[in-house]
Amino acid sequence: MPTEISARRRPRRKSRGLPRLKKGRRAKSLCSRASARRISVRATGSVAEKERESQIVLHAARPALSGAQSAVDEQDSPIAAETGATPARRTPEEKELSRKHAQLRVLEAELARRELQLANLRADVLLFEERYIRKIGVRWARLDEIEAIIAEAEARRQPGNPAARQAADRARERAERSRTAVLRQTSANGFDPPEALKRLYRAVARRVHPDFGEDPLDRQVRERLMAHANRAYERSDERRLRGILAEYEFGPEAVRGEGTPLELVRVIRKIALVRGRLTEIEQETEQTRNSDLYRFKTRAEAAARQGRDLFAEVAAAVTARIASARQKLRGVLAAASSP
């Protein structure tokens, strides 16, 4: 019986893979592999669980993050600024309107600063011009008048000489300009603008006069523009008069109605007007600083710092030229009266 059972035992197969290990070492190796697999499974599960937890946290926090972003978007809203309440999610037009409002505020602050600088520049130049007219301008006007009389007398002596006639015309124009400048500063009623400026002012008045306003808002806009037009007319500022006329025709007040799209159009027009005015101020400032009067002002201030009186020096030089011109005029008149 034992022999029969023993005969039925299957023979052991030889390993065809790795070399046969001893019993102790093989068991240890198998235990190490199983342990490594368990560690790997735990690690993989841990990473997966952390990723899942992160997704859950982000999903739960998404409404809060959206609310925070919405608060950031709404913090510059005109509605929130006025009421203190946070409105619902805004449309793209409302967001653009908020950005344009912020841009307009920056430009208006810059415009106020530049307007003040230009007003100070005008005041300084005006005061200097009054001083210049009193001390030097009246002498130049007298000299220009004498030289115009001399040129006209010489043109009459040479009726066939066109160059003499042209020289006389130029001398007369120069004398008229000098006389007008002196009258404007020395006489309260000396303001005599050219006819073209008068026509432009009348056109502006017909278009923007407050009496033609359709409603209180329109009349308020007209009053503001008419005040600007009066100041521009007093300064003989033709460019500013034309700008006032265009401002009323294409200004933001010309857009009527309510709603975000219409308000956006109005704000865009205001931005364009402010930028246009900034360009005008820059051009006027440059034109003023490049004028002969302003350059003489700079020279006079530099001479005063050195202890010199440039006004007295120039006035003495012009007085000497007037004496010489009068002597020449006597000779021309004597020659013209002789047979």
Residues 202 and 302 in one domain: yes
Indicate whether 212 and 302 sit together in one domain.
yes
Going by pLDDT thresholds of 50, 70 and 90, the confidence category of residue 179 is confident
pLDDT at res. 180: 82
**Is the pLDDT at 80 greater than 70, yes or no?**
no
Residues 292 and 316 in one domain: no
Q: Please indicate, yes or no, if residue 46 is contained in any of the structural domains.
A: no
Q: Which of 96-100, 177-181, 230-234 has the highest mean pLDDT?
A: 96-100
Q: In this model, does residue 277 exceed pLDDT 70?
A: yes
User: Based on the domain organization, do 183 and 100 belong to the same domain?
Assistant: yes
Query: Mean pLDDT over residues 159-164, rounded?
Result: 88
Ranking 53-57, 149-153, 293-297 by mean pLDDT, the lowest is 53-57
How many structural domains is the chain composed of? 2
Asked, for residue 22, whether it belongs to a domain, the answer is no
In a domain, 88, yes or no: no
Q: If you average pLDDT over every residue of the chain, what do you get?
A: 75
Token pair 């010309």 in the structure block, residue: 254
- Domain annotation covers residue 174: yes
**Between 229 and 321, the higher pLDDT residue:** 321
The predicted model gives 60-69 an average pLDDT of: 37
- Most confidently predicted of 83-97, 165-179, 199-213: 165-179
* Lowest mean per-residue pLDDT among 42-56, 74-88, 154-168: 42-56
What is the model's pLDDT at position 47? Answer: 43
Q: Return the percentage of the chain with pLDDT > 90, whole number.
A: 27
Q: Is the pLDDT of residue 319 over 90?
A: yes
Specify whether 246 is located in the same domain as 112: no
pLDDT of 271 higher than 70: yes
Same domain, 198 and 179: no
Q: Which residue segment(s) compose the domain that 146 sits in? A: 96-191+309-339
Among 233-247, 254-268, 305-319, the range with the most confident prediction by mean pLDDT is 305-319
pLDDT grade, residue 243 (50/70/90)?
A: confident
Given this model, what pLDDT does residue 87 score?
55
The mean per-residue pLDDT over the stretch 148-152 comes to 92
Residue 69 scores a pLDDT above 60: no
Model pTM score: 0.56
Share above pLDDT 70 across residues of the chain, in percent, rounded to a whole number: 68
In a shared domain, residues 213 and 296: yes
Q: Is the pLDDT of residue 46 over 70?
A: no
Assess whether 118 and 264 both reside in one domain: no
